[in-house]
């Protein structure tokens, strides 16, 4: 097992400490402190994360996240490094399944909010792991558009969401495509052909 989720987790935690709690991120309205708190709550407070699926309960989740964000920043970041023993991440297979893309995206949320950033060169194994998860991400992200979209990563393959002739084609590396499809269009290095209104669309996740 390659352990890409573990690597991205460590790199993100290191970067969070480097930039400090008030650094901006690509998550609208969130500083590094807010993002760190979200990641800890995601793994340690399943009751708080139910609000993602059940909107009426979203207030509870936000209350828990804000309380975590109020704790000492270095301690919160340390909790990111040390997921709880009972979490699915204690199993390398489920860690890769649930966290490779999650931690890659949030690592880039911090990196790409800083001036002078450039895309990282990911090894092919990590790109392949991201590509594997991309089909589900794409279906969730593109469901509101109501038009067919082709997604293509040279050397990894292509797929289409929606039936019929694609109105839009997205071309890029898997890492860049997953950032684009998770709402980070502004900083994702993706070529768009056809209907390019997708660049500013609110992509549902």
Q: What is the CATH number of the domain that holds 161?
A: 3.30.1050
Which three-class secondary structure state does DSSP give residue 161?
strand
Tell me if 118 is assigned to some domain. no
Q: Which domain holds residue 64?
A: 4-111
Residue 95 falls within a domain, yes or no? Answer: yes
Same domain, 130 and 93: no
144 and 179, same domain (yes or no): yes
116 falls within a domain: no
Helix 124-142 vs helix 92-111: crossing angle, to nearest 10: 80
Q: What is the pLDDT of residue 197?
A: 93
Same domain, 87 and 140: no
With tokens 């699926």, the residue in question is 53
Last residue in a domain, options 85, 111, 137: 111
Examine the fold and report which residue of 90, 111, 132 is the final residue of a domain before the chain moves on: 111
Residue in this structure with the two tokens 């609110």, named with its chain if needed? 202
Q: Is 119 part of any domain?
A: no
Residue 205 lies in a domain: no
Average confidence (pLDDT) over 162-166: 92
Which of residues 111, 138, 164 is at a domain's end?
111
Residues 194, 105 share a domain: no
Asked whether residue 9 falls in the same domain as residue 61, the answer is: yes
Of 54 and 176, the structure prediction assigns the larger pLDDT to 176
Q: Which long-range contacts (CB under 8 A, 24 or more apart) does 52-58 make?
A: none
Average pLDDT over residues 111-120: 96
Q: Are 102 and 17 contained in the same domain?
A: yes
- Quote the pTM value: 0.91
pLDDT of residue 52: 58
Total domain count, the chain: 2
Nearest Cα neighbor of 90 from 7, 6, 11, 16 is: 6
Tokens representing 186 are: 């502004």
Helix axes 92-111, 32-44, angle to 10 degrees: 170
d(CA 74, CA 64): 18
The mean pLDDT of the chain is 89
| Whether residues 160 and 93 fall in one domain | no
In a domain, 63, yes or no: yes
* DSSP bridge pairs for 151: 159, 170
Q: Is 18 a domain residue?
A: yes
Residues 102 and 132 in one domain: no
Answer whether residue 16 is part of any domain. yes
Q: What confidence score (pLDDT) does residue 168 get? A: 95
57 confidence band (pLDDT: 50, 70, 90): low
**What's the CA gap between 203 and 198, in Å, rounded?**
8
Give yes or no: residues 72 and 130 share one domain.
no
Q: Which residues contact 184 (CB under 8 A, 6 or more apart)?
A: 26, 105, 108, 109, 112
pLDDT value at residue 49 = 63
Residue 105 and residue 10 share a domain: yes
Same domain, 14 and 105: yes
Neighbours of 122 (CB within 10 A): 18
12 & 95 share domain: yes
């Amino acid at each position: 097992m390659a352990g890409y989720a573990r690597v991205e987790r460590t790199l993100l935690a290191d970067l969070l400490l480097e930039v400090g709690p008030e650094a901006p991120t690509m998550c609208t309205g969130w500083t590094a402190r807010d993002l760190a708190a979200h990641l800890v709550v995601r793994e340690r407070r399943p009751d708080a994360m139910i609000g993602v699926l059940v909107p009426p309960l979203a207030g509870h989740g936000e209350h828990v996240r804000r309380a975590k964000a109020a704790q000492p920043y270095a301690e919160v970041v340390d909790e990111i490094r040390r997921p709880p023993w009972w979490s699915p991440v204690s199993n390398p297979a489920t860690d890769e399944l649930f966290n490779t893309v999650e931690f890659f995206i949030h690592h880039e949320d911090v990196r790409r909010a800083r001036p002078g950033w450039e895309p990282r060169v990911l090894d092919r194994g990590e790109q392949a792991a991201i590509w594997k998860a991309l089909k589900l991400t794409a279906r969730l992200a593109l469901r509101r558009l109501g038009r067919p979209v082709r997604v293509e990563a040279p050397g990894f393959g292509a797929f289409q969401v929606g039936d019929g002739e694609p109105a839009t084609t997205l071309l890029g590396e898997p890492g860049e495509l997953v950032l684009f499809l998770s709402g980070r269009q502004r900083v994702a290095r993706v070529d768009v052909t056809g209907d390019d209104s997708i660049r500013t669309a609110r992509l549902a996740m």
